[in-house]
Amino acid sequence: MKRQWKAFWYLLPALLFLLAFLVYPLVDVFVYSVEEGYNFASQTYFGVGGYNYSYVLHDPYFLQAVKNTCILVVVTVPLSTGLALLISLGLNSIKPLRNLFQTIYFLPYVTNTLAVGLVFMILFQKTEYTDGLINLLIQWFGGSSVDFIDGPYWAKMFVLCFYTVWVVMPFKILILTSALASVNPDYYKAARVDGTSRTRVFFCITLPMISPMVFYLVITGFIGAFKAYSDAVALFGADLNAAGMNTIVGYVYDMLYGDSGGFPSYASAAAVILFAIVLTITCINLLVSKKHIHY
Amino acid sequence: MKIVLENLTKKFPSRNKKEPKDVTAVDHFSFECPDGQLISLLGPSGCGKSTALNLICGLETPTEGHIYFGDSDVTSLTPELRGVGMVFQNYALYPHLTVKQNILFPLENRKGKDRLTREEMEKRAFQAAELVQIKELMDRKPRELSGGQQQRTAIARALVKTPSVLLLDEPLSNLDARLRLRTREEIKKIQRATGITTIFVTHDQEEAMSISDQILVMRDGRLIQAGKPQEVYDSPNCLFVAKFLGTPPINVFRGRIRDKTLYIGEDAIWKTDLKDQEVFAGIRPEGFLLDSDGPLCCRLNGVEVMGRDVSILSSHPACEAAFVRSIIDSENQMDVSRETVRFSLKPGKVFLFCKDTEERLPFSAERSSL
């Protein structure tokens, strides 16, 4: 018993930090989210209840943000993981210039997302003076130009998804190429001796072997996409509500510091809702992955 | 099926940029392997025996030469068209599949008219599993098996396609000593039962000697000697083979022929018919006889009693190694307090090799009258 107390003393510094900077803020967000009419300046509130949640859930901006975030998650996570898998398979099967290609594919990871967002904006934006490079291409192939930055919703969503996939791919490619390289080549030799077709090798050997890494990427991908914010700002500017391209994290930020801000209770409620969504999705992911990862 | 290797050569491009010379892993390897035999490819690591196996399997294509299975040239065929079964050193069992799924895997690959019905596949898988005695483990995953069981699963997976040739790449090296003894007997038994021509790669001469019908000793990609294990042991054609085979290893002495007499150090051993030259004399541990009048005089270092026989450790100035190890019957009483020990030698257990080429020198010997 005495020994155990001693162990706690050793843990105390770390525990104190965790309590102060992790547990306390987490709990505090929950507390804020149920305090009705909280005033930031006077630190007072009227009562405790579910009004903040009700307000947030009925706020059209929040609903728009949830919709945007969900589309972003559903489109970009499978797309970026799939594309990354294809590219890694390609990288793994070429010998000459592999390192060069690996470096090129990894470059987006080390570049500044805001700067790249600016470049994307210039590529896609339509102004009074120019239609932008993408529209020139569309017109060249006989289509009519679209304003991707200030135009219809689907066009803006397309740019946001495109940009997100572009930003998250390098990391996934890096992880998947190393996962592919770590598969013991004897498995492939054994498969060759048995005359296994290429598709069967991929689905029955390669994919199961790298499945832990694929699931890791899917789980972190989901979490990352749900927390998307800076990508949208990089493309559409700080006033995301006006552009109709807000995300849940963007909504939380706006509620705190935006032009319509100063409502920490609403922000906290939105944050708690986001937390609940991410927690649910991650649990589902883990349950599914448990069924499919065998070792 | 008979396997014929004809001038088989494999060169790999050099990875060393400063020395862009090809590495020859297998060098003009020719051999005819009779139907239904168990053949061992034996050699130290890096001698090209695994590459030779991969060439026979079809995982590598030869730079030169031909491979025939029976009468058909299979040199340019892919592994699955050759009908070979292969067991890898680490077994290469798919970890996410059960034993049964692993064994079924080769059968499920087949397409078109070669494809069997589900029942037929299951039947074959069970037959293969029965042969290697893992029937009760069919629903386990490889990681839930012991090393020996994994190895049997790998053999079952190789046998399920009823291959014409079975290839085993160091199949016993991942097993512990006791299991190795048992498994090599089982491999022999399975090979006998199926009658499949089997090629077995190993660096362990004891393994090769104990179960093979023939052993092929390789060095630097070349075939040095082939033959029945006992023949190769009793009649090595060079110093390398003599040193490589046998535990405890052969004792090598520096010797010379002078005036038609073989000398080991200063000890005159025999009259011989060879001309005067420097030689290596290899003496098998069982080639020594305790003899108080024997010509070979060694300083006694110790005696190890091992039940059936006695191992005498002694030293001789002309010996290449620090100790001369000789094995004699335990019936011989040894006086361990003596400083020196004298041996006479059994002519059949003594080999002479040319000092420069290390090739065997045949000789006839008669006990020196000196």
| CA–CA min distance A91, chain B (Å) | 21
**pLDDT (0 to 100) of residue A271:** 92
> Are the beta carbons of A208 and B94 separated by less than 8 Å?
yes
A193, A198, A199: which to substitute to probe chain B, counting the most B Cβ within 10 Å? A193
> Are the beta carbons of A194 and B78 separated by less than 8 Å?
no
A186 reaches B (C-beta below 8 A):
yes
The answer to whether the beta carbons of residues B125 and B104 sit under 8 Å apart is: yes
Cross-chain CB nearest to A189 (options B92, B105, B106): B92
Please provide the average confidence, as pLDDT, over all residues in chain B. Answer: 88
Burial grade of A166 (CB within 10 A; 0-12, 13-18, 19 or more): middle
Q: Which residue has the higher pLDDT, A125 or B92?
A: B92
Q: Which residue has the higher pLDDT, B331 or A24?
A: A24
Q: What are phi and psi of B277, to 5 degrees?
A: -170, 170
Instruction: Determine the average pLDDT of the residues in B6-35.
Output: 86
Q: Indicate whether B138 pLDDT > 80.
A: yes
**pLDDT (0 to 100) of residue A134:** 81
> Are the beta carbons of B79 and A209 separated by less than 8 Å?
no
Spatial neighbors of B225 by CB under 8 A, at least 6 apart, are B216, B217, B232, B236, B237, B238, B241
> Are the beta carbons of B80 and A192 separated by less than 8 Å?
yes
With H, G, I as helix, E, B as strand and everything else as coil, classify residue A155: helix
Q: Which amino acid is at A254?
A: D
The percentage of residues in chain B with a pLDDT greater than 90, rounded to a whole number, is: 34
CA angle centred on A228, ends A224 and A231, rounded to 5°: 120
Cross-chain CB nearest to B80 (options A184, A189, A194): A194
Per CB-CB distance under 8 Å, the chain B contacts of A196 are 105, 109
In angstroms, how far is CA B86 from the centroid of its own chain?
18
Hey, what are A5's tokens? Answer: 């107390």
The answer to whether the beta carbons of residues B6 and B28 sit under 8 Å apart is: no
DSSP symbol at B319: B
Q: Which amino acid is at A189?
A: K
A294 reaches B (C-beta below 8 A):
yes
Strands B261-264 vs B251-258: parallel, antiparallel or unpaired: antiparallel
The answer to whether the beta carbons of residues B242 and B287 sit under 8 Å apart is: no
**pLDDT (0 to 100) of residue A261:** 67
pLDDT band at A295 (very low <50, low <70, confident <90, very high): low
Residue pLDDT, tens place only, A242-277: 888 889 999 999 888 877 667 888 899 999 999 999
The residue of chain A nearest to residue B92, with distances taken between CA atoms, is: A187
3-state SS, one letter per residue, for B16-82: CCCCCCCEEEEEEEEEEECCCCEEEEECCCCCCHHHHHHHHHCCCCCCEEEEEECCEECCCCCHHHH
**pLDDT (0 to 100) of residue B365:** 65
DSSP symbol at B235: S
| CA–CA min distance A221, chain B (Å) | 25
Residue pLDDT, tens place only, B160-184: 988 989 999 988 888 888 888 888 8
**pLDDT (0 to 100) of residue B369:** 43
The answer to whether the beta carbons of residues B187 and B170 sit under 8 Å apart is: no
Calculate the alpha carbon distances from B204 to A276, B115, B151, B183 in Å.
62, 39, 18, 14
The residue of chain B nearest to residue A201, with distances taken between CA atoms, is: B109
Of the listed ranges A50-59, A112-121, B14-23, B299-308, the least confidently predicted one is B14-23
pLDDT band at B55 (very low <50, low <70, confident <90, very high): very high
> Are the beta carbons of B141 and A295 separated by less than 8 Å?
yes
Task: Write down the H helix ranges in chain A.
Answer: 2-18, 24-34, 51-58, 60-93, 98-110, 113-124, 133-140, 153-181, 185-193, 198-201, 207-226, 230-236, 240-243, 248-257, 264-292
pLDDT band at A84 (very low <50, low <70, confident <90, very high): very high
CA angle centred on B319, ends B316 and B325, rounded to 5°: 75
The answer to whether the beta carbons of residues B85 and B167 sit under 8 Å apart is: yes
B140 reaches A (C-beta below 8 A):
no
Instruction: Determine the average pLDDT of the residues in A116-130.
Output: 80
Cross-chain CB nearest to B143 (options A186, A189, A295): A295
pLDDT band at A235 (very low <50, low <70, confident <90, very high): confident
Per CB-CB distance under 8 Å, the chain A contacts of B92 are 184, 186-187, 189-190
Q: What are phi and psi of A111, to 5 degrees?
A: -90, 160
Determine the straight-line distance between the first and last CA of chain A, rounded to whole angstroms: 37
The residue of chain B nearest to residue A186, with distances taken between CA atoms, is: B92
Q: Indicate whether B116 pLDDT > 70.
A: yes
Hey, what are A192's tokens? Answer: 């060759």
pTM of the model: 0.80
Query: What is the rounded CA–CA span in Å between residue A228 and residue B209?
Result: 68
Closest CA to B229 of B252, B259, B208: B208
Instruction: Determine the average pLDDT of the residues in A131-159.
Output: 81
Q: Indicate whether B276 pLDDT > 60.
A: yes
Spatial neighbors of B339 by CB under 8 A, at least 6 apart, are B299, B300
Q: Tokens 């040239």 label which residue?
A: B73
pLDDT band at B105 (very low <50, low <70, confident <90, very high): very high
Hey, what are A18's tokens? Answer: 């965790």
Hey, what are A181's tokens? Answer: 């390289």
With H, G, I as helix, E, B as strand and everything else as coil, classify residue A176: helix
Calculate the alpha carbon distances from B66 to A122, B167, B204, B302 in Å.
63, 18, 28, 53
